[in-house]
Structure 1
């Protein structure tokens, strides 16, 4: 008579037999039903996890969530893609076996996302992870390539500093990409950050959130903060000192740069003369606050740079300033490389602006950017037709054009003067245009003339977004647009409201139910008209003589 075995012993024997015979598929099926076992039974399964590890790749977060509190110590998903630190669970003291298992699993992680939270349980998890690292002489994430550290966004704890020194276990020499999306509340957190970055000798990508307060600054020397500063290929950082800007201008391998200019000093001519010119820079975004002149001076550091994507955001753009920006681009950027240009005026008040003139941009004497495909101008000066038509000399090959503010309340002084019938002139100025977003006046749409309709049929416009008064958003407007632009595939209408000088988001569902109904009519008319037009073409083709 055989000796009676417990459930744990039977389960252990089954695991041993299946693993030795190579029946990994059967063992995986058995592991999926492990929720029925508790306590020692799951401990037996843990003894075999290292043997059947590859079987659990598609089961992230499922096998490891047991009801028994002491069933497991810590788990990392085995996928080689993103690993969120919320998957970590600590429920009992660590043993040498646990540390070995954790090292094996953590060494497979390539991309790790850490979300800092102000919850006590989260800091307990982070403290235990730091405690585990103190007992070992090897890094947990030995093959980590990208680390993203995010701050939990909440207004309840805005002024509570975090103890960032607990992030030590995530330092590894193999890291290439560091994204530090954290609000620096004081210089103590900046000091930790500089010490933390020095642990990555192979860093190629450094992205840091711009500090919230002006008295929080980074060290004057970026070279001392980053060991391989000269090898960086992507940087997102704030600049407070002239020395920091000089260090950026010496980066010869930089391909993507997002910079926030926060200092009040000017950029002297000798710095512009010594600039390396960013020979490999392809993507540039400049945020200058109220210092538009510094933005222009920074663009003067370029030397026939092959920029492909450029974004400029300040709060002091004027018509003369925009003309100065275009002139700087023609002198310092390779005109054959620029494809996307974004200019935004993020001012909160619009009072005191100079009056509009007929042609504020003065583009007739500038060299055109013939490869420019996308132009986004979110500025309060584009409200008449003539300045828009003058842009055709600067960017004749545009396919996407966005003008004005969408979803914001602006003063009545900047109410658009572009009539909906004048959209045809814009499409004729940019013959390759396929997407257009613009505020218009649609108070009295009229039927297009035969000559105008024939010209509009030659356009390639397929996507149109118009911002207009809610009382003008009717089915007649949609009918006019469908007839005027037969190739239209997408029509979007949003409200343009003239009110206080401070822009704000507009919730039309709560504030204007009539606008909601009118907007639904516009979206409903377009597919109906397209089907009717297709049927007419089909009948005309069938009735045509052979």
Structure 2
């Protein structure tokens, strides 16, 4: 049987190989994030590796910092460890952002990771062209209770999402008008949602809000919340 060079393997096989490398617990134990640097190196090795390696590298993301770092140097700036922007990105620069954003299928956002980006970055992301803000997102885990971050959460609720977890770091999501308005619209914003985990307050009004959200989720098969309003 003739030897097949690894560069000639089907894309599906390369995706499996790169996923195994990314998820290798031994590599992660020996040196944190080593598996990600390995995938990044593979993406630079040859054309055959580039696209599948980038797909695996960006598939599951923690925070938005890595995406913002893809913007050109004349746009982004770092001050006191926080990523910010010198000016709003132009259309061509959003296209660079979009080359990576469309690969993300799973995103986790928590309080500390949002603190890595400035308010200017959040404003820019909220105003970004819809084609670049995670158009293929499937799973969203949101652990932040601040009302100021709601516009960003609203932007991330795309139609492709099938699983959503919304909470604060260690307690239920505290009710507010903007949060209730957002929850009530989840079914229309994410019509394919199958899993919803949202512990939202403990009042009657909170129960009514979650009940309205659930009523609009016609594909829902898994739900974790407080007692619903009948």
- 1:46-100 CA-to-partner distances (Å, cap 9, x unmatched) read xxxx6xxxxxxxxxxxxxxxxxxxxxxxxxxxxxxxxxxxxxxxxxxxxxxxxxx
Stretches of structure 2 that go unaligned for 5 or more consecutive residues are 73-80
Q: Tell me if 1:244 matches 2:69.
A: yes
**Would you say the 8 A contact 2:166–2:198 is kept in 1?**
yes
Q: Give the alignment's Cα RMSD to 1 decimal.
A: 5.0
**Would you say the 8 A contact 1:380–1:404 is kept in 2?**
yes
Q: Tell me if 1:197 matches 2:52.
A: no
- 1:8-34 CA-to-partner distances (Å, cap 9, x unmatched) read xxxxxxxxxxxxxxxxxxxxxxxxxxx
Of 135, 143, 155, 1:307 maps to: 135
Of 195, 202, 207, 1:385 maps to: 207
**Aligned in 2, Cα 1:297/1:285: closer, same or farther, shift over 3 Å?**
farther
Q: Which residue of 1 aligns with 2:29?
A: 158
Q: Which residue of 2 aligns with 1:270?
A: 88
Structure number with greater Rg is: 1
- 1:423-458 CA-to-partner distances (Å, cap 9, x unmatched) read xx4xxxxxxxxxxxxxxxxxxxxxxxxxxxxxxxxx
TM-score where L is the length of structure 2:
0.56
Q: Which residue of 2 aligns with 1:317?
A: 145
**Aligned in 2, Cα 1:315/1:185: closer, same or farther, shift over 3 Å?**
same
Of 398, 409, 420, 2:218 maps to: 398
Q: Which has the higher helix share?
A: 2
**Would you say the 8 A contact 1:207–1:236 is kept in 2?**
no
**Would you say the 8 A contact 1:267–1:297 is kept in 2?**
no
Distance in 2 between the 1:282 and 1:194 partners? 14
Q: Which residue of 2 aligns with 1:144?
A: 9
Alpha-carbon offset, residue 200 of structure 1: 1.6
Of 180, 185, 188, 1:361 maps to: 180
SS at match of 1:312: strand
Distance in 1 between the 2:175 and 2:136 partners? 31
Alpha-carbon offset, residue 304 of structure 1: 2.9
Alpha-carbon offset, residue 400 of structure 1: 0.5
SS at match of 1:343: strand
SS at match of 1:372: coil
**Would you say the 8 A contact 2:42–2:53 is kept in 1?**
no
Alpha-carbon offset, residue 287 of structure 1: 2.7
**Aligned in 2, Cα 1:370/1:356: closer, same or farther, shift over 3 Å?**
closer
Distance in 1 between the 2:155 and 2:143 partners? 18
Q: Which residue of 2 aligns with 1:184?
A: 33
Q: Give matches, 1:430-469, under 5 Å.
A: none
**Would you say the 8 A contact 1:284–1:309 is kept in 2?**
yes
Stretches of structure 1 that go unaligned for 5 or more consecutive residues are 1-49, 51-103, 108-139, 162-182, 211-233, 248-262, 406-415, 426-546
Distance in 2 between the 1:158 and 1:364 partners? 39
**Aligned in 2, Cα 1:272/1:341: closer, same or farther, shift over 3 Å?**
farther
Distance in 2 between the 1:298 and 1:388 partners? 30
Q: Tell me if 1:373 matches 2:220.
A: no
SS at match of 2:88: helix
**Would you say the 8 A contact 1:382–1:403 is kept in 2?**
no
Distance in 2 between the 1:298 and 1:341 partners? 25
**Would you say the 8 A contact 1:299–1:329 is kept in 2?**
no
Aligned length: 200
- 1:259-294 CA-to-partner distances (Å, cap 9, x unmatched) read xxxx73135651276423749948643333423475
Distance in 2 between the 1:382 and 1:236 partners? 29
SS at match of 1:245: coil
Distance in 1 between the 2:25 and 2:179 partners? 42
